[in-house]
Structures are given as C-alpha cells and as structure tokens.
Amino acid sequence: MRKNRAAAGTAKLGPLPAWRLDDLYKARDAAELARDLDWAAGEAKAFRADCAGTLSSAAGGLDGAALAAAIARYERLDETLSRIMSFASLTYSGNVSDPEIGRFYQSMQEKVNEISSELIFFTLAIAKLDEAKLDAAKRAVPALARYAPWLRDVRAFREHVLADDMERLLHDKAVAGRSAWVRLYDETLAKLRFEVRGKELTEAEALHLLGDRDRKMREAAAHALANVFGENIRLF
C-alpha cells in the first residue's frame, strides 16, 4: 500500500531533473572512461618509478625545474582521477538506490584508490622538503612558484605525517573503512520512508515539513522522523 502511494506521488511529478554529466563522460561504459583509467594506472606506476626517491636530491640543489615538472605530471594524474570520481560520485548521488550504479561507484572507488596509492610517496616527500631550500627554489623558478599555494597546503600538516608505510595502509583501507560507512549511511537514508498524515515521504520531504507554518504538521513530521530513526537506531 505504501509503495503504491509513493509510486503514484512520483508519477504526478513527471520526469525529474537530472545532472548532465556529458562534459565528464557520456556513460558509465564510455570508452573514454576506460581509456582514462588505463592511462592513469600506467602513468601512476611510471611516475613512481621515475620520481620515487629523487625529490630530496632534486630539492637539495635545488633543481626547482625538475620539481615543477614532477608536480605538473602529478597534477595531470590528479585531475584525471578527480574527473573519474566526480563522474562516479555524481552518478551515484543521482540514484543511490540503483544496485547497478552502486556497483559502478564501488568499482570506481576501488580502481582509483589502487591507482592513487602509487602517488602517496610524492606528497609525503614534498612534506619533508627543507623549507629554506624550497623557498629558494620557488624564487628561482617561476614554474615552481605557481604551485606555491598547493605546496603550502601539502606541507601544512607535515609535523603530523606518519611513516610512509602507515600512510599507505590508511589510504588502502579507505574504501573498506570510512567510505563504506558513508555509502551505507547514504543508501539507508535513501530507502527510509516517513508517513506523515497518511502520506509516505522521503527524508528530505519530511525534514522540509519541520518548517511548515502549521504547528501540527511540524509535530507530525517530527514524530515520523523520530519513529523511523528510532527503528534504525543501531545504524545511526
């Protein structure tokens, strides 16, 4: 009965607006997406092979031009991975209840996490660079100076950086840790329904009624929210 009422309410709305993500990728199975994943996987390994263990000497002189070139290379990788995850997360946010989309989102998280694990060494190495030598390099090399705000942000928490192997472990476990709980929370909220005065509402619709002019409507919405959240208290 509840499902029928919900379906009827949705039908009255007609086609709902949706994000156009064509500027990112045309579809979940787009050839461009597969191409970018393959390129990023290969480039990340090559980047690590070329740059791991070289920053100290590059910054020791300091070869600011070499460091700037490495950052530019890292930037392209980061932008590609961010584009992939932006597409995946926006697609998922548009319909968190669709199991196919959920599997796609999970797959992209795992693949991007695996690729980006090859890049952790770079920001950790930058965090450990000598401040005076880095400042001198930025003054001498305009190409490096343009990355000054990013370098500042990367180095902001350098005193709290863990050993490289520990930082990589935390990164590798991110998908099965915090991200998994966030996804469970989002999917659970998307499925919950709140009955207010005989109408079945989503969480957003029920929360909206908390600002209704009618005091009794606000009270009914509050009770519905409290009851449903109470039934799911073990998660929340």
Torsion of CA 146, 46, 169, 187, to 10 degrees: 80
- CATH code of residue 142: 1.20.140.70
Greatest CA separation for the chain: 74
pLDDT in tens, 7-18: 455 556 667 677
Cis amide bond preceding 134, omega within 30? no
pLDDT in tens, 126-150: 998 889 999 999 999 999 999 999 9
Same domain, 108 and 152: yes
Segments of the chain assigned E as strands: 194-196, 199-201
Identify whether 77 is part of a domain: yes
For 30, 179, 192, 225, 234, the CA distances from 231, given in Å and listed in that order, are: 41, 24, 10, 10, 8
Identify whether 120 is part of a domain: yes
Same domain, 145 and 197: no
Identify whether 40 is part of a domain: yes
CA 110 to chain centre: 12
- pTM for the whole thing? 0.73
Tokens of 206: 């029920």
Q: State how many domains the chain has.
A: 2
* 143, 162, 181 - which closes a domain: 162
Identify whether 9 is part of a domain: no
For 3, 6, 15, 26, the CA distances from 12, given in Å and listed in that order, are: 14, 10, 9, 29
What is the C-alpha separation between 143 and 185, in angstroms, rounded?
43
Q: How many CB atoms are closer than 10 A to CB 229? A: 15
pLDDT in tens, 184-194: 777 777 788 99
Same domain, 118 and 77: yes
Torsion of CA 147, 23, 179, 29, to 10 degrees: -130
User: Per-residue pLDDT averaged across 93-118, rounded?
Assistant: 91
Structural domain boundaries enclosing 41: 29-162
Tokens of 200: 């079945």
Report whether pLDDT(203) > 70.
Answer: yes
Same domain, 156 and 207: no
pLDDT in tens, 17-55: 778 899 999 999 999 999 999 999 999 999 999 988 777
